[in-house]
Chains A and B, each alone.
Chain A
Amino acid sequence: MKRTMDRRVIQVTWVLFGVLSVACQSQAQNAQTPYPSMAPIEQYLMADRNAEIALARSAAPESVSRDAEVLVLGRHGYETAVKGKNGFVCAVERSWMAPFDDPEFLNPDQRLPLCLNPPAARSHLPLTFKMTELALAGLSGTQMFDSIKAAFDKKELPLPEPGEVCYMMSKQQYFGRKYGNADPHLMFWVPKTDDIFWGAGLPGSPVYVHQYSPEPITEFIISVSKWSDGTAAPTD
Chain B
Amino acid sequence: MNRKLVKTIACFALAVVLGGPWQARALDTKTPYPTMAPIEQYLMADRNAEIALARSAAPESISRDAEVLVLGRQGYETAVKGKNGFVCMVERSWTAGIEDPVFWDPKIRGAICLNPPAARTVLPITLKKTELILAGRSKAQMSEGIKDAFDKRELPAVESGAMSYMMSRQAYLGDSAGHWHPHLMFFAPETDAVTWGADLPGSPILTFGYSQDRLTVFLIPVAKWSDGTADLTDKH
A-to-B contact residues, CB < 8 Å: 60-64, 86-88, 115, 117-119, 162-163, 165, 167, 169, 184, 186, 190, 193, 196-199, 202-207, 222-226, 228, 230, 232, 235
Contact = CB atoms under 8 A, between A and B. Distances in A.
Given A163-B195, A197-B116, A198-B115, 19 more contacts: A61-B197, A61-B200, A62-B201, A63-B200, A163-B196, A165-B197, A165-B205, A169-B204, A198-B163, A199-B113, A202-B59, A202-B62, A206-B184, A206-B222, A206-B224, A222-B222, A223-B222, A226-B204, A230-B202
Contacts of B224: 204, 206
A87 B195 contact: yes
A117 B161 contact: no
Interface size classification for chain B: 35 or more
Contacts of A60: 197, 203
A88 B197 contact: yes
Would you list the 4 A-B pairs with minimal beta carbon distance, nearest first?
A: A204-B59, A61-B202, A202-B61, A63-B200
A222 B219 CA distance: 12
Contact of B161 (A62, A64, A193, A224): A193
Contacts of A235: 223, 230
Interface of B: 58-62, 84-86, 113, 115-117, 160-161, 163, 165, 167, 182, 184, 188, 191, 194-197, 200-205, 220-224, 226, 228, 230, 235-236
A11 B7 CA distance: 79
Contact of B201 (A63, A117, A169, A197): A63
A117 B222 contact: no
A117 B59 contact: no
B206 to A, nearest CB: 12
A225 B86 contact: no
Nearest to A224: B204
Given A196-B84, A226-B235, A61 B201 contact: yes
22 contacts: A61-B197, A163-B188, A163-B196, A165-B197, A165-B205, A167-B197, A184-B204, A190-B160, A197-B115, A197-B117, A197-B161, A198-B115, A199-B61, A202-B62, A203-B60, A204-B59, A204-B60, A204-B61, A206-B223, A225-B221, A225-B236, A226-B235
Contact of B59 (A86, A118, A163, A205): A205
B40 to A, nearest CB: 34
Given A86-B194, A198-B115, A228 B202 contact: yes
A147 B84 CA distance: 36
A205 B61 contact: yes
B202 A225 contact: no
Contact of B184 (A165, A169, A203, A222): A222
Task: Tell me which of A223, A225, A230 has the highest count of chain B C-beta atoms within 10 A of its own C-beta.
Answer: A225
A163 B62 CA distance: 23
B161 A198 contact: yes
A232 B61 contact: no
A162 B197 contact: no
B140 to A, nearest CB: 32
A118 B197 CA distance: 10
A199 B165 contact: yes
A86 B192 CA distance: 12
A69 to B, nearest CB: 14
B186 to A, nearest CB: 8
Given A190-B161, A204-B226, A64 B204 contact: no
A186 B204 contact: yes
A232 to B, nearest CB: 6
Which residue of B113, B196, B224, B230 has the most chain A CB atoms within 10 A of its CB atom? B196
A222 B235 contact: no
B1 to A, nearest CB: 11
A230 B200 CA distance: 12
Contacts of A117: 195-197
A64 B200 contact: yes
A161 to B, nearest CB: 9
Given A86-B194, A193-B161, A226 B61 contact: no
Contact of A63 (B196, B202, B230): B202
Contacts of A86: 194
